Structure 1
């Protein structure tokens, strides 16, 4: 029956319905389980990193479609999640969704529906648990727990963030073991490994609540036929790199591959000084000068990935136990990458490959060629129209029939991983200071002051040799393409 819904998707062209009442999707509509993981590099076994323990994500990739060249729209949490949840290029900062919320309050007609709002409008129960938008739980205020300041108005039936001993969402966001809260980053350890269960760290509580919500939603689906859109956001491997001690076990004696191009690049680049990382307690050590400490940081990051993988596995197992796998589209998405010493960066916030490339996996029953990855360049903004397409919902268009998203459906690549990519096979991203476009061969970075960086990924130097002066015609051509793509941002 789920496959029948997919077949119907290509024939639905209805305009946006009235927001006043939920509209039914195809019968029977599939559920959606969206798993968001913070700061997740595509350094997983299923993406080619054989030293990482990620069995649950790998199993999902084996039955789904892993997109090995998925790029986010911004190397920071808030702006990247804005792109995912609206399908649009947008503001560059972490306050992007709050800016949208203000506009929505001032003039609802001027703001298009979010991804969960669109599904809610079409009869879905929408629930978020954990860090799905920028703030865990999706609220503003001093401790990010003010119900009067929703980050995504009119989007969720329930938006939840259990905090336990971490007291509030802000405490959980940067929490270490057993309720330790960051009051001063310089006093909080940058890495930690504490014995205990999953709930030793905040993501364990998030997962427990998500499992309870999944049970409740599955019961409603079985009893009443109500489809659900459940989004679960795991914080790890975000800083600080703390995970249960058992998750460090696989890495105690592991041999790590060398870090590619670990030197600070010459000239003006998108490089930055790893400010967030360097503010933590580093025990008087600098990973750029201390190879042993650099290796320790990498291993603790890996432990956080293994921790997040196990929690994702618990969600996927419960989906099976609830009998909902055959009715559900599963998406696993990393909100951006993270540098572990490449270009001498320990963090994100740059427009290099390591900051912008992250894992994306889509799985559903009846997927052709399961386990075969796609190497097409795709973007986070493509997920909104893709999920509408797969769920047989009307395309995200306004009353004038024009799309209100910048992304395009990835359904052709889901049906055939060798198909032509949408959007001409390029991806755009931005910070407050520069913008970039990635094509199959090149990355161009354009700074606001006119300075250009051009990197040729067909060469061993990749993003270490600026070729803008040597290839001015290529730089000009890509700059024009970049400006056209981001003209309405």
Structure 2
């Protein structure tokens, strides 16, 4: 009898441990992360905005939208590498788009996780990546005009990497897609930088990605393991293509042109860029450059195209969030929407990214925590490298060492903003630090001026470099800038 009692007790203990283990898994919050390519910090809920983003506005009304989120590098692959690792670039190669494909994809797995997604996977999360989360359009390493490979850009981060190529057949073709099945590569750049097509949402790749994400959410609903679902939307990256109905949301004549359409004063051309990516769409009616300004009519057309593409992505985000709610997964899922960098829409005489100015570095960031009643537009300065430690704190997952970012989880739990934060960015042989009031940039080059200072209190559009007139402010801020010097330009 004594042995039967012991066996019965052991069985109860075993069943209880299984139950509590299962309960612990399912009670861990899920994560829905949506990356939007080239989505600058211009959303419908921000002051004086003309862009139409009702779904992002609704999400912001239920969470925290950061108006002063800054990326580390104003180009896709490098920005995503910093975000995924919580590390600022410390080598020149880390400023390029191909760092993950060239190096990460061939590294053996080590104790240090390759990304925070890899770390979550090690800590019990089922990880699914759909679309562009790292740099590659579908997560695999291959050239723009090559067949899809089986080499993963992030070998250890994903349990699943589904993608619907549609009529475009490869991820890169889909990334640069036009509605007729062609793409920038197949057309040898003989294309316009925009398109309004008479198709529904499934007529472009982001619509297919959205439907795949919805299908995957329905599958994830039925598993006990917590999940991380990453969804990478292409638009509004060039070409600015979207269904006609999103163009019809706007009256082009009412779209304002940039308030600062000329090069900043007291700045070398080396700090700017010639809009080469934009001009690479060779059938564009006008070319941009540092020696020419687009006509107001064409500037409005291009802004119209960007806005329409952003509204198309906003609609896809709405569909995914609606499904999350319909499945009642919203009650235990952290939602993050992140723009990988900003984009100049004619500001400083530039159409594109790749600068250390506000328009290229400031991008969208929205957090929604299940059960939270905090709703605000937060003006605190935060960086992309901060997202890694923030998310792990929210999930109560131990943070690995060797990160540059700091958690801003406390900002998600209070209605107050926080002053005194700074953000560091790197590009074009330069380091830039953004404080609450100033942007100070130092370039490691021979062309003068190598120091730029912008006062966002009096000149939020960064129209004039006042470094020479304010040596005392430069001297005071320079040690702060040097704190962000990772040895990149030593």
Partner of 1:340: 345
> Following TM superposition, where does structure 1 have runs of at least 4 consecutive aligned residues deviating by more than 4 angstroms?
22-27, 143-148
Displacement after TM superposition at 1:414 (Å): 0.7
Q: Distance in 1 between matches of 2:372 and 2:253?
A: 35
Q: Which has the larger radius of gyration?
A: 2
Given candidates 204, 214, 217, the residue that maps to 2:220 is 217
In structure 2, relative to structure 1, the CA distance for the partners of 1:160 and 1:486 (3 Å cut) is farther
In structure 2, relative to structure 1, the CA distance for the partners of 1:467 and 1:337 (3 Å cut) is same
For the pair 1:376 / 2:380, whether they are aligned, the reply is: yes
Partner of 1:48: 47
Stretch moving more, 142-151 or 27-36: 142-151
For the pair 1:155 / 2:157, whether they are aligned, the reply is: yes
Q: Distance in 2 between matches of 1:433 and 1:146?
A: 34
- Gapped regions of structure 2 (runs ≥ 5): 1-20
Displacement after TM superposition at 1:117 (Å): 0.6
Given candidates 422, 426, 431, the residue that maps to 1:426 is 422
Displacement after TM superposition at 1:405 (Å): 1.6
Q: Distance in 2 between matches of 1:360 and 1:228?
A: 21
Q: Could you tell me whether the CA contact under 8 Å between 2:257 and 2:300 is conserved in 1?
A: no
Q: Distance in 1 between matches of 2:422 and 2:242?
A: 36
Q: Distance in 2 between matches of 1:27 and 1:191?
A: 44
Q: Distance in 2 between matches of 1:72 and 1:102?
A: 23
Displacement after TM superposition at 1:485 (Å): 2.0
- Gapped regions of structure 1 (runs ≥ 5): 1-21, 398-402
Displacement after TM superposition at 1:145 (Å): 6.0
In structure 2, relative to structure 1, the CA distance for the partners of 1:321 and 1:461 (3 Å cut) is closer
Partner of 1:404: 402
Partner of 1:192: 195
State the Cα deviation string for residues 69-118 of structure 1 (Å, max 9, x = none).
1111111000111111111112211112235415733x735x54411111
State the Cα deviation string for residues 161-209 of structure 1 (Å, max 9, x = none).
3211111011111111131111255301111100111111111111111
For the pair 1:356 / 2:361, whether they are aligned, the reply is: yes
Partner of 2:243: 244
Task: Say which SS state the counterpart of residue 245 (structure 2) adopts.
Answer: helix
Q: Could you tell me whether the CA contact under 8 Å between 2:199 and 2:243 is conserved in 1?
A: yes
Q: Distance in 2 between matches of 1:417 and 1:382?
A: 19
Q: Distance in 2 between matches of 1:150 and 1:477?
A: 46
Displacement after TM superposition at 1:463 (Å): 1.5
Alignment of 1:78-89 (within 5 A): 78-89=77-88
Alignment of 1:16-55 (within 5 A): 28-55=27-54
Displacement after TM superposition at 1:319 (Å): 0.4
For the pair 1:292 / 2:294, whether they are aligned, the reply is: no
State the Cα deviation string for residues 238-276 of structure 1 (Å, max 9, x = none).
000110000011113551234121012343152111000
In structure 2, relative to structure 1, the CA distance for the partners of 1:480 and 1:276 (3 Å cut) is same
Displacement after TM superposition at 1:374 (Å): 0.9
Alignment of 1:420-459 (within 5 A): 420=418, 424-449=420-445, 451-459=450-458
Taking only aligned residues, the RMSD between alpha carbons, in angstroms, comes to 2.2
For the pair 1:389 / 2:390, whether they are aligned, the reply is: no
State the Cα deviation string for residues 32-54 of structure 1 (Å, max 9, x = none).
00011011122211122442221
Partner of 2:116: 115
Q: Could you tell me whether the CA contact under 8 Å between 1:32 and 1:230 is conserved in 2?
A: yes
Partner of 2:12: none
Task: Say which SS state the counterpart of residue 179 (structure 1) adopts.
Answer: coil
Task: Say which SS state the counterpart of residue 326 (structure 1) adopts.
Answer: helix
Partner of 1:414: 412
Q: Distance in 2 between matches of 1:145 and 1:70?
A: 36
Partner of 2:170: 168
Task: Say which SS state the counterpart of residue 108 (structure 1) adopts.
Answer: coil
Q: Distance in 1 between matches of 2:171 and 2:358?
A: 30
Stretch moving more, 444-453 or 328-337: 444-453
Task: Say which SS state the counterpart of residue 231 (structure 2) adopts.
Answer: strand
In structure 2, relative to structure 1, the CA distance for the partners of 1:171 and 1:193 (3 Å cut) is same
Partner of 2:4: none
Displacement after TM superposition at 1:289 (Å): 3.3
Q: Could you tell me whether the CA contact under 8 Å between 1:286 and 1:293 is conserved in 2?
A: no
Task: Say which SS state the counterpart of residue 222 (structure 2) adopts.
Answer: helix
In structure 2, relative to structure 1, the CA distance for the partners of 1:164 and 1:462 (3 Å cut) is closer
Partner of 1:307: 312
Q: Could you tell me whether the CA contact under 8 Å between 1:25 and 1:391 is conserved in 2?
A: no
Partner of 2:181: 179
TM-score normalised to the size of structure 1? Answer: 0.88
Q: Could you tell me whether the CA contact under 8 Å between 1:122 and 1:393 is conserved in 2?
A: yes
In structure 2, relative to structure 1, the CA distance for the partners of 1:298 and 1:428 (3 Å cut) is same
TM-score normalised to the size of structure 2? Answer: 0.87
